[in-house]
Structure 1
Amino acid sequence: MTRSASFGRVGIAYVIALIVAGSWLGWGPRTDLLWLDTLIADLLGTLVVFGFSRRYRNSSCYDAYWSVVPPVMLFYWWFAGGLGVDQIHCWLVSIAVVVWSVRLTVNWARSFQGLHDEDWRYGMLRDRAGGFGFVADLVGIHLIPTAQVFLGMVPVYVAVTTPGDNMLWLSGIACVLALSAVLLEYLADGQMRRFVGDRRPGQIMDQGLWSWSRHPNYFGEFSFWFALALFGVAASPADAWWLFVGAAAMLAMFQGASIPMMEERSLQRRPGYQDVIDRVPRFVPRLPRPVTV
């Protein structure tokens, strides 16, 4: 299947997923809880994408769902439950989420080779699950990421549906932090893309932002979700104690799953990567340690 045809199949999957989700929100049974109705719709859309993943034997069908759905949820929440909410506050949230979504989706599109090419981590997860590969695919690759993104978006729900005064100054800080995180990811991904295109056999990336952190893209992604939590706090300071749960879940996924898998693979393919581990911080950017002789 050609790359353009693959884009078409993924696009059809997402259109059908959004139609199914929208149909549930429009005509399905209501729980009288806007967030819960949206979660059910989101899970139904995920099941549609999962069906396409199984049809084409490629779970990378799901990858862009991570970045496509959040702005849809945001605008649905805003227009369904945002009466009385400070509109400047809502626009700041919207700018942050839309810029993040466009950047991440475009980055996915640039790296997507087609439905013949699947993210290597998905095959590893299914293989490790043995006879439970189907369950690992459904739960680990599709449903859990959907739940994590939804949890990360809960502060946005609070931000665009909580009427009354909010701390607009904190919303401004959150917007600047979110856009800075997106810029960090953009620069890190661009540097990695150029490196991959020009690298010599066995060469290891430790340049630019990647000399300050072994995973600056993941740090940027976590920073974005942390900024979304700040938007929620700005709208409802009394809920600050739980609004960072989504960002914490993202951090746990990066530190407990994504980064260890990436580093294990790098060490297997490039033994010299151990030198990078010894010199360059794992996550939070800072000056690299000097080379010792």
Structure 2
Amino acid sequence: MRTGDGAVRGRSIGRAESFARIGAVYLLAFGAATVWLVLGPDTAWLWLDGLIADLIATVVVFAASRLHRNSSCYDAYWSVLPPYLAAYWAIAAAGEAEPSRVAAVLAVVGLWALRLTWNWARSWPGMQHEDWRYPMLRERAGRAELVVDLMAIHVVPTLQVFLGLVPVYVAVALPGRPFGWLDVVAVAVGVAAVALEYTADEQMRRFTRSAAPGEVMDRGLWGWSRHPNYLGEIGFWLALALFGIAASPGDWWWLLVGAAAMVALFLGASIPMMEQRSVARRPSYADVVARVPMLLPRPPRRRAAERR
């Protein structure tokens, strides 16, 4: 998932040209995916058709990343793929699923995708920008950097997102129980998660405009959780799992796997990498770590100086 600042690579390219290039990349990627879905052989399973199309689009974006020598060509894929795949499954299933649930799922996924894509678009400097984690991963890989670029930066996140979307497939493409109270809970969780992410990003955006060098964010939502944006993201994927369980309660045990995998991603990789970098660049961040909980919110502890 895209977070944090990044490196500047190559010559400076204006934002208009950068958006034109990325737009062309994604038109090619999703065009290739759509050609497969419309003209490719029928696998007899809509979920497998979607997975193959997903991987085809990922390979096209990977090729663009290599061409531009910038793996951040993939950054927007996280937010634009889910509504594409959810809409395909809903249309291809031709009314098999509960209509009210389909509408609710598509609305929540669409709201999330619009917010995340807009947040990326307005903060993206252009094609000269690359997420700082990508060159680090490639450099550590040495001669295997191409494989790491393909798998760790492109394919594995694609599979991660697809796993999180499996409950969407169950909710919008398969017959299920009538729309009920758990669907209402899923809508509430999903909308609240998007609102949490939006508020956290806006607070961070205002802070970075006026922050002094070395200053760290520990106010607003960021004073109750060091990563409220990640908490909101986890809430969104949990909402998708709840939609799947609402449609097929007996399958709850595997419909939660995607949300659990997202939690593992954030706790095992994204958050530790971000925090190591923050402490290295801003030593005062160690005080935030000591006072503010990592994910689940609670009132922050007072600074050591304030307790004396």
- Residue 160 of structure 1: aligned partner: 172
- Residue 269 of structure 2: aligned partner: 257
Query: Secondary structure in 2 aligned to 1:147?
Result: helix
Query: Secondary structure in 1 aligned to 2:110?
Result: helix
- Residue 6 of structure 2: aligned partner: none
Q: CA deviation at 1:27?
A: 1.4
> CA 1:34 to 1:230, structure 2 compared with 1: closer, same or farther past 3 Å?
same
Q: CA deviation at 1:202?
A: 1.2
How does 1:180-219 map onto structure 2 within 5 Å?
180-219=192-231
Q: CA deviation at 1:290?
A: 2.6
- Residue 25 of structure 2: aligned partner: 13
How does 1:124-273 map onto structure 2 within 5 Å?
124-273=136-285
Q: 2:177·2:246 contact (CA, 8 Å) conserved in 1?
A: no
> CA 1:164 to 1:216, structure 2 compared with 1: closer, same or farther past 3 Å?
closer
Q: CA deviation at 1:29?
A: 2.0
Query: Alignment partner for residue 78 of structure 1, among 83, 90, 106?
Result: 90
Q: 1:166·1:236 contact (CA, 8 Å) conserved in 2?
A: no
Which amino acid is 2:77 matched to? Y
Instruction: State the identity %.
Output: 57
Residue-by-residue CA offset, 1:227-260 (whole Å, 9 max, x unaligned): 1000000000011010011111111111111111
Which amino acid is 2:262 matched to? M
Residue-by-residue CA offset, 1:128-161 (whole Å, 9 max, x unaligned): 2122111111111100111011110000000012
Tell me, in whole angstroms, the C-alpha distance in 1 between the residues paired with 2:293 and 2:94: 42
- Residue 62 of structure 1: aligned partner: 74
Q: CA deviation at 1:226?
A: 0.6
Matched, 1:2 2:14: yes
Which amino acid is 1:216 matched to? P
- Residue 120 of structure 2: aligned partner: 108
Q: 1:153·1:246 contact (CA, 8 Å) conserved in 2?
A: yes
Query: Secondary structure in 2 aligned to 1:241?
Result: helix
Tell me, in whole angstroms, the C-alpha distance in 2 between the residues paired with 1:128 and 1:194: 34
Gaps of at least 5 residues in structure 2 are: 1-12
Which 4+ runs in 1 deviate beyond 3 A? none
Query: Secondary structure in 2 aligned to 1:271?
Result: coil
Which amino acid is 1:168 matched to? G
Tell me, in whole angstroms, the C-alpha distance in 2 between the residues paired with 1:130 and 1:250: 28
Query: Secondary structure in 2 aligned to 1:242?
Result: helix
Q: CA deviation at 1:164?
A: 4.1
Matched, 1:42 2:21: no
Q: CA deviation at 1:167?
A: 4.7
Tell me, in whole angstroms, the C-alpha distance in 1 between the residues paired with 2:105 and 2:172: 8
Equivalent pairs, count: 293
Residue-by-residue CA offset, 1:9-57 (whole Å, 9 max, x unaligned): 1110100111100111111122111100110110000000001111111
TM-score, normalization: structure 2? 0.93
Tell me, in whole angstroms, the C-alpha distance in 1 between the residues paired with 2:281 and 2:78: 28
Tell me, in whole angstroms, the C-alpha distance in 2 between the residues paired with 1:188 and 1:164: 35
Tell me, in whole angstroms, the C-alpha distance in 2 between the residues paired with 1:69 and 1:63: 11
Q: 1:82·1:162 contact (CA, 8 Å) conserved in 2?
A: no
Tell me, in whole angstroms, the C-alpha distance in 2 between the residues paired with 1:72 and 1:168: 25
Q: 1:78·1:161 contact (CA, 8 Å) conserved in 2?
A: yes
Residue-by-residue CA offset, 1:195-242 (whole Å, 9 max, x unaligned): 111101111100100001111000100110011000000000011010
Q: 1:82·1:163 contact (CA, 8 Å) conserved in 2?
A: no
Q: CA deviation at 1:82?
A: 4.5
Q: CA deviation at 1:288?
A: 1.2
Which amino acid is 2:218 matched to? D
Gaps of at least 5 residues in structure 1 are: none
Please identify, of 126-135 and 198-207, the stretch whose mean Cα deviation from structure 2 is larger.
Answer: 126-135
RMSD (Å), alpha carbons? 1.0
